[in-house]
Amino acid sequence: MDLDFTEEQVMFRTMARDFMTKECPSTLVRELEESDEGYSLDLWRKIAELGWLGLTFPEKYGGIAGNSLDLAILYDEMGRALFPSPHLPVVVLGGHTILECGSEEQKREFLHRIASGELLLSLALTEAIFSREPVAITTRATAQGDDYSINGAKLFVPNANIADYLVCVARTGDGQAPEEGITLFLVDAHSPGIACTLLKTTSEIGHDKQCEVIFQDVKVPKKNILGGLNQGWAPLARVINQATVALCAEMVGGALAVLDMSVEYSKERVAFGRPIGSFQALQHKMANMLVEVDGAWLLTYQAAWMLAEGLPCAKQVAMAKAWTSNAYRRVTADAIQIHGGYGYCSEVDTTLYYRRAKATEFTLGDPRFHRRIVALEMGL
């Protein structure tokens, strides 16, 4: 395993960091947190021009043929800047699902428009039983002539309030195993029978835009099925692994940013006639923070490398998410303590990162869920 970045990847990382520093100050992050959309259309168009919306799409679909490591590098820099955008639901959860199991016609119709910034997607997966497992899918799609009729409720659908299309995970049959009988549908988000509500009360921590989406007799043409009928779970699981690694990279970037802030502050803040960074208690705290962050970095980039190489890595992805979720939360909490009472002020950036850490801790499975996957992969 070689985790050294290529010369092109180093240049890409530098370009991404320079862009984030210039275009995404924390004042903009706070401003967009208060909006219903949660992102800047101007910035979205700019990153489309840079090719970031098609980073991992093949060139024939409007992309630049990057791999999972390239995606992790981008998300690392997004995490450092707390870049507010629907990139994960649109490009990874939405676009990669089409790339993974869509027909050639679907790929040509949708991927170009995603890469250009014209089309917004989201994944409608989670239901009342908050779980990433197939047993929790109760939304039902029933065949009616040339269409399917979808009925059910989805919760915590990211950025559904701005989506043009939803990838809806629905049950079309009942098999012996829970994953059997699950089908993926591309649903026009403005179809009759769809009701979308922005769940502001659930978004107070991370200020991320989560929605409840109700499907009531929503008609979807059979041609909008992604992949095979009753065969949707396996490709979706692969896409979720990709998205989970990208999210881990975002958390790593945020944790690194907070660690840098803490080190600099401890050099400048003077107490009892000396910088607080000279006190052993704070030195050990920041040393522990570095251990947490480096562990998260190594696990995340190992999983990203394995994905890029096409190697089985369910265990490595789960290890990365379990460790990184806890590490990001602990590092941001320690950073607030290092900054003292000042660190608790809403105007200070440490609080932005802490809230983001709490939100991402549960996104795409919490640490307990992923530790169970690790145990299963160990044969337990």
Q: Within a domain: residue 2?
A: no
- Is 103 in the same domain as 174? no
- Is 314 in the same domain as 221? no
pLDDT value of residue 177: 85
Residue owning tokens 């690694």: 245
pLDDT value of residue 206: 61
Query: Residue 151 is which amino acid?
Result: N
Q: Give the span between the Cα atoms of 260 and 290, in whole angstroms.
A: 10
- Is 138 in the same domain as 225? yes
Residue owning tokens 């779970």: 233
Q: Within a domain: residue 276?
A: yes
- In eight-state DSSP terms, residue 275 is E
pLDDT value of residue 30: 92
- Is 198 in the same domain as 251? no
Q: Within a domain: residue 206?
A: yes
- Is 242 in the same domain as 225? no
- Is 242 in the same domain as 346? yes
pTM for the model stands at 0.95
- Is 47 in the same domain as 24? yes
| 36-72 residues labelled b (16+ CB within 10 A) or e (exposed) | eebbbeebbeebbebebbbbbbeeebbbbebbbbbbb
* Last residue in a domain, options 94, 120, 146: 120
Q: Within a domain: residue 108?
A: yes
pLDDT value of residue 284: 97
pLDDT value of residue 128: 86
CB 226 within 8 A of CB 375: no
Q: Residue 97 belongs to what domain range? A: 7-120
- The gap from C-alpha 209 to its chain's centroid, in whole angstroms, comes to 12
pLDDT value of residue 16: 98
| Overall domain count for the chain | 3
Tens-digit pLDDT profile for residues 232-281: 999 999 999 999 999 999 999 999 999 999 999 999 999 999 999 999 99
CB 102 within 8 A of CB 151: no
Q: How many CB atoms lie within 10 A of CB 146?
A: 9
CB 148 within 8 A of CB 181: no
Instruction: Give one word for 67, left, alpha or beta, with left for phi > 0 and alpha for psi -120 to 50.
Output: beta
Q: Give the span between the Cα atoms of 106 and 101, in whole angstroms.
A: 9
Which DSSP string corresponds to 183-227? EEEEEETTSTTEEEEE-GGGGTTT---EEEEEEEEEEEEGGGEES
Q: Within a domain: residue 1?
A: no
What is the sign, positive or negative, of the torsion defined by CA atoms of 185, 58, 363, 19? negative
* Last residue in a domain, options 103, 120, 137: 120
CATH number for the domain spanning 326: value is: 1.20.140.10
- Is 247 in the same domain as 359? yes
pLDDT value of residue 205: 64
- Is 208 in the same domain as 278? no
Q: Within a domain: residue 285?
A: yes
Q: Mapping DSSP to helix (H, G, I), strand (E, B) and coil, where does residue 63 land?
A: coil
Q: Within a domain: residue 40?
A: yes
CATH number for the domain spanning 81: value is: 1.10.540.10
- Is 108 in the same domain as 43? yes
* Last residue in a domain, options 57, 85, 120: 120
- Is 253 in the same domain as 369? yes
CATH number for the domain spanning 214: value is: 2.40.110.10
Which residues of the chain are under the pLDDT cut of 50?
202-203
Residue 270 is encoded by which pair of tokens? 């003077």
pLDDT value of residue 175: 78
CB 166 within 8 A of CB 158: no
pLDDT value of residue 174: 86
- Is 246 in the same domain as 373? yes
